[in-house]
Amino acid sequence: MRLGDGQIHEEIYRLLDTYYQLQEQREQLQEAMGTASESEMETLQQRLAETNDAQARRALQESIDLLRRRLHSRNALSSHRQRMEAHLELLLQTLKSLHESLSRLKLAPQSLEEFDIDALRLHLQELQQEAAAIENAAQEVLGSLVTQRGEGGA
């Protein structure tokens, strides 16, 4: 089966759309991860250690507990963000590779052109399946995070 130039361009545009959708989801995931940090935890723990007033200590302890939950949520989402960023990089490098391959195809003889196009088609299909899986996983993570926030978690 041979893929025509128009079909290849269509596939590339679909891949680009997937890339941009994943970028948007990565930004949403980054926002959902929040700004909690270990240094913030250290600062609060230091303030708690230096505070003598019982009410102030209880308020600081509650703050530490909330921050601990935020850090846990952030760490849980971190691996999803890393996976998404790695796949975005894979998509980007694939798009660059496809661009270079298509440029070479314009100069290549007909027999080489058929081989490269079939290889490109297979690679595009594999990447689209992988990108769709990542997109679905990101939607699940973001959906569960919204559910947690609605229930008073995270």
Task: Give the residue numbers spanning the domain of 127.
Answer: 5-33+79-150
The pLDDT tens digits of the residues spanning 14-45 come to 888 888 888 888 888 888 888 999 999 999 99
Please say if the pLDDT value at position 49 is more than 90.
Answer: yes
Please say if the pLDDT value at position 55 is more than 70.
Answer: yes
Please say if the pLDDT value at position 154 is more than 50.
Answer: no
Cβ contacts of 125-133, under 8 Å, gap ≥ 24: 127/15, 127/90, 127/91, 127/94, 128/11, 128/14, 128/15, 128/18, 130/87, 130/90, 131/15, 131/18, 131/19, 131/22, 131/87, 131/91, 132/18
Are 101 and 120 contacting, i.e. CB atoms less than 8 angstroms apart?
A: yes
| Domain count along the chain | 1
Are 93 and 147 contacting, i.e. CB atoms less than 8 angstroms apart?
A: no
- 52: in domain: no
What are the helix (H) ranges across 34-153? Answer: 38-50, 54-107, 110-150
- 72: in domain: no
- 145: in domain: yes
- 45: in domain: no
pLDDT band of residue 1 (cuts 50, 70, 90) is very low
Q: Give the per-residue pLDDT at 2.
A: 44
- 46: in domain: no
